[in-house]
Amino acid sequence: MRATLLLGLALLSQAAARALDCQALNDQRDQLVRRAMKDEVVVLHELRLKLCPQQEASATAEDSASESQLDFGAYIRCRQQAEVQLQNTKPVLYTNPSGFRWFTPQGARLAREADALLREMQQHCAAPSPAGPPP
């Protein structure tokens, strides 16, 4: 009886440790993705500043008066133009399994690391419940 109880406690302890490891992997992956996205956002922001400085200034202004002056249609066209120009002038360095394209060396490197962690989590961690966050 005591051996069974000890075995049960050991198994629970191992399961808890694996769950903590999986949470740590998920947190690390999320942090890598955030850092990778930050690089890509900076590149597009710089392009929009060159292509349409007025719309970009209005869109990124922190005061509400500028918000009311923003021409959303022009800003959307500016964003689309920047994305097309980026695709035409910079090589895609990495495309992740979701189809997101990475143009910066740092962003591509971090995205690859994040995807490697995701594969590790898919192999070793229990699948999240449908109500839970994606890995």
| Token couple for 16 | 């808890």
User: Could you tell me the pLDDT band of residue 16, with boundaries at 50, 70 and 90?
Assistant: very low
- 12 within domain boundaries: no
| Digit-coded pLDDT (tens) for 35-91 | 999 989 999 999 999 999 988 888 888 765 555 577 889 888 998 999 899 999 999
- 62 within domain boundaries: yes
- 130 within domain boundaries: no
- 102 within domain boundaries: yes
The DSSP result for 42-63, as a single string, is HHHHHHHHHH-HHHHHHHH-SS
What is the average pLDDT across 90-99? 92
- 5 within domain boundaries: no
SS3 of 101, please?
strand
User: What's the structural domain count of the chain?
Assistant: 1
DSSP structural state of residue 95: E
- Where residue 125 falls (left for φ over 0; alpha for ψ -120 to 50; beta otherwise) is beta
Give the domain extent around 54.
Answer: 22-124
- 132 within domain boundaries: no
- 54 within domain boundaries: yes
- 8 within domain boundaries: no
What is the average pLDDT across 100-121? 94
